[in-house]
Structure 1
Amino acid sequence: MNVSRIALTGGLAASTVLLLAGTASAHVSVQPEGTAAKGGYATVNVKVPNERDDAATTKVEVNFPTDHPLVSVMPQAVPGWSAEVTKSKLAKPLEMHGQKISEAVSKVTWTAEGAKDERGIRPGSFQQFPLSLGQLPENTDQLVLKAIQTYDDKDVVRWIEEQKPGAEEPESPAPVLTLTDAEGGAHTDDKAAAKETKAASDTPSAASASDTTARVLGIVGIVVGVAGVAFGVLAGRRRTA
Structure 2
Amino acid sequence: MNRSWRAATLTIGALAGAVAFVRPAAADVTVTPSAAIRGGPARVEFHVPEERPGAYTTKVELVAPEATPIAEIYPMSVDDWAPTITTRKLDQPVELIHGTTTTEVPASITWVRFGDAPSTPVQPAALAVSLGPMPQADRVAFTVVQTYSDGTVVRWSDSPDTGGSQAQHPAPVVTLIDPEPVADSGNSADGSGTGGNGPNGVRWSALLLGLVAALGIEGWTILRAVRGHLRPAAAVGSEGNHR
TM-score, structure 2 normalization: 0.62
Greater relative contact order, per chain length (Cα 8 Å cut-off, separation 6+) = 2
Residue 50 of structure 1 and its aligned partner are, at CA, apart by 0.3
Q: Is the 8 A contact 1:50 1:125 kept in 2?
A: yes
Render the CA deviation track for 1:25-74: whole Å, top value 9, x for unaligned.
3111111212x111111111000110111101010011111221111111
The one of 122, 126, 129 aligned to 1:128: 126
Q: After TM superposition, where is structure 1 displaced by more than 2 Å over at least 4 residues in a row?
A: 94-100, 122-125, 194-198
Find out whether 1:90 has 2:81 as its counterpart.
no
Distance 1:201 1:83, change over 3 A: closer
The answer to which structure has the higher helix fraction is 1
1:52·1:123 contact (CA, 8 Å) conserved in 2? no
Structure 2 letter corresponding to 1:109 = T
Q: Extract unaligned runs of 5+ from structure 2.
A: 1-24, 194-243
Structure-2 change in CA distance of 1:198 and 1:160 (3 Å): same
Q: Which residue of 1 aligns with 2:171?
A: 174
Q: State the one-letter code of the partner of 2:164.
A: A
Measure the CA separation in 1 of the matches of 2:179 and 2:162.
24
What is the CA RMSD across the aligned residues, in angstroms?
2.6
Conserved? CA contact 1:70–1:134, under 8 Å: yes
Name the CA distance, whole Å, in 2 between partners of 1:50 and 1:201: 51
Shift of 1:166: 3.9
Say yes or no: does 1:103 pair with 2:100.
Answer: no
How far apart are 1:173 and its partner, in Å?
0.7
Q: Structure 1 residues 144 and 201, CA, compared in 2 at 3 Å: closer, same or farther?
A: closer
CA distance in 2, matches of 1:29, 1:41: 19
Relative distance call for 1:201 and 1:144 in structure 2 (3 A) is closer
Distance, in Å, in 1 between the alignment partners of 2:192 and 2:109 is: 50
The answer on 1:57 being equivalent to 2:57 is yes
User: What do the CA deviations read for 1:209-230 (whole angstroms, capped 9, x no partner)?
Assistant: xxxxxxxxxxxxxxxxxxxxxx
Compared CA separation, residues 95 and 136, structure 1 to 2 (3 A): closer
**Aligned pair in 2 of structure 1 residues 123, 159: CA closer, same or farther (>3 Å)?**
farther
**Is there any run of 5+ residues in structure 1 with no aligned partner, and where?**
1-23, 203-241
2:143 is aligned to 146
Alignment length (residue pairs): 168
Q: Identity across aligned pairs (percent)?
A: 36
For 2:28, the equivalent position in structure 1 comes to: 27
Give the 3-state SS of the residue equivalent to 1:199 in structure 2.
coil
* Alpha-carbon offset, residue 124 of structure 1: 4.6
| TM-score with structure 1 setting the length | 0.62
- 1:91 CA displacement: 2.2
Task: Say if 1:89 and 1:102, in contact at 8 Å, map to a contact too.
Answer: yes
- What code does the residue aligned with 1:94 have? V
The question of whether the paired residues in 1 share the 8 Å contact of 2:60 and 2:145 is answered with: yes
